[in-house]
Amino acid sequence: MESKLHILLGTDKGKSFDLEYGKVYTVGRSPDNDIQIKDKNISRYHLKIQCKENKYFITDLNSKNGTFVSGEDISPGIEVEVEEEIPVVIGMNVIGLGEGCKTWLKSFLDCVGICSKTDENGEISKSYGVKVIKKKLGFIYDMNNILMESKDINEISEKMLECIFNLFKGADRCVIILINAETEEISNVIYRSKKSLNDPAKAYNHELVEQALLLNKAVMASDSYDKDEEDDESTGSLQLKNIRSAVCVPMNSPLQKKRGAIYIDSIGRSKGFQKNDIALLRDISGRVALTMDLLSLDERLV
């Protein structure tokens, strides 16, 4: 087992540091640390790390912005074991431990749309602050827990809506459209809306959903009033319903069955969704569809 710390995202992205077994390393912004990461969001002495018994252990040194592991900030001063496939967020950097994380974990971060953006000066974009990275990773951990613990698709959908609303604060409506895999007809519509709705059919833009399902890919309207998007089939219907921005991601299972779609919109906010949001939703939709396949298989075996 090769013991290394890799910086997968952030100001020093691509750097790696060897870790000797048994030795305690300090990580922080100060040059006095064993491993220095130049990020103003990282404390001067942020955490310590040790590799022992083929395992990795980290301890937060009462840092200002905390150390984010497995969906939450760890308690300062308490040693925590971290597995190779678990990303660790400190400041605006995501680090991984062990050689395996260099390929698998990096691909995972890219897949779910957690990748660094830099401005013309090479600085990390403010839109990719500490809170954004933590929120996206927290969303993924929460969804994974829901999929592992829940055995009912309606329950999963309800909890997923809550997670999506917590992630996309600018969203006005979020809808899970469930489709019968055999007939490919809509079997249920589960939604949440900031404004009261009596009819589930009015909770989403039908044209956008139909387009996503027909093309079998994510469809996004960044701004329905943008002239560059006038030719889009669904733009006109979005304008008629005063929907400024919307995104729809189909839920397709590994068995190539249509399981449904995730739809989110913002009534008055343009550019409410970004391309990296699609990557995140696509990853989650695939996990949900796979869970639906497994639940369906379990029902048949009973």
pLDDT tens string 125-153: 444 566 777 888 888 888 888 988 888 98
Interatomic CA distance for residues 287 and 285, integer angstroms: 5
* Per-residue model confidence (pLDDT) at position 256: 67
* Per-residue model confidence (pLDDT) at position 173: 94
pLDDT band at 298 (very low <50, low <70, confident <90, very high): low
Report the b/e string of 145-165 with b at 16+ CB within 10 A. Answer: ebbeebeebeebbbbbbebbb
Interatomic CA distance for residues 257 and 180, integer angstroms: 9
15-35, pLDDT tens digit by residue? 999 999 999 999 999 999 999
Locus of tokens 């830099």:
118
* Per-residue model confidence (pLDDT) at position 27: 97
pLDDT band at 74 (very low <50, low <70, confident <90, very high): very high
Interatomic CA distance for residues 258 and 181, integer angstroms: 6
Spatial contact of 171 and 281, defined as CB atoms under 8 Å apart? no
86-112, pLDDT tens digit by residue? 889 998 888 889 877 766 666 666 665
pLDDT band at 258 (very low <50, low <70, confident <90, very high): confident
What percent of the chain has a predicted confidence (pLDDT) above 70? 85
Name the H helices within 168-274. Answer: 206-215, 235-240
* Per-residue model confidence (pLDDT) at position 99: 75
148-174, pLDDT tens digit by residue? 888 898 999 999 999 999 889 889 999
* Per-residue model confidence (pLDDT) at position 127: 44
pLDDT band at 14 (very low <50, low <70, confident <90, very high): confident
DSSP strands (E only) in 120-257? 173-179, 186-193, 219-221, 245-252
Residue 10 or 122, more confident: 10
What percent of the chain has a predicted confidence (pLDDT) above 90? 39
pLDDT band at 124 (very low <50, low <70, confident <90, very high): very low
